[in-house]
Structure 1
Amino acid sequence: MNPDVVGWAASAVLMATLVQQVIKQANDDSAQGVSQWLFAGQIVASIGFIVYSAMVGSIVFVVTNCCILVTAIVGQIITAKKRRSGGAR
């Protein structure tokens, strides 16, 4: 079996779970219990993993980490907007 098949399958599962979490967060009226440090750390780590993955030549991980970076940015934006609008206590 081609190792990339395993990598793409794992990437699909990970992205499905992250997208569901972002959707749940977007539909919640508050950002209570959501740490902005989670997203800040995820953004920094994703950038590092993108660079590393590119350096070792793994397109699966470059794409996956780019997608994870997008979910972290979206999560950060949603949390910040909800906190500004008074949704979080």
Structure 2
Amino acid sequence: MPIIPISSTVAIASFVLLGDTEMASYAAAELVKRITEPFDEIVTIESKGIPLAEEISKITHRKNYVVLRKSAKGYMAHPISVR
């Protein structure tokens, strides 16, 4: 992973899955192999987890997955919100 400086004294190892379809597909396939219990939903956080959730949904033949967001967006018809 590339090391990205975020200040003059701090740097982080950056891993961005967005846009890397080959990595998302591979990672999802490996993660699905490790699922040992039945599950009802695939849930991810906004943005970085979305490609992985989508690939896991495809592999496990799930029609949908849930994205948790910080706030409701104008295009959402009936968002569920909790404080």
Structure 1 length-normalised TM: 0.35
Q: Which has the larger radius of gyration?
A: 2
TM-score by length of 2: 0.36
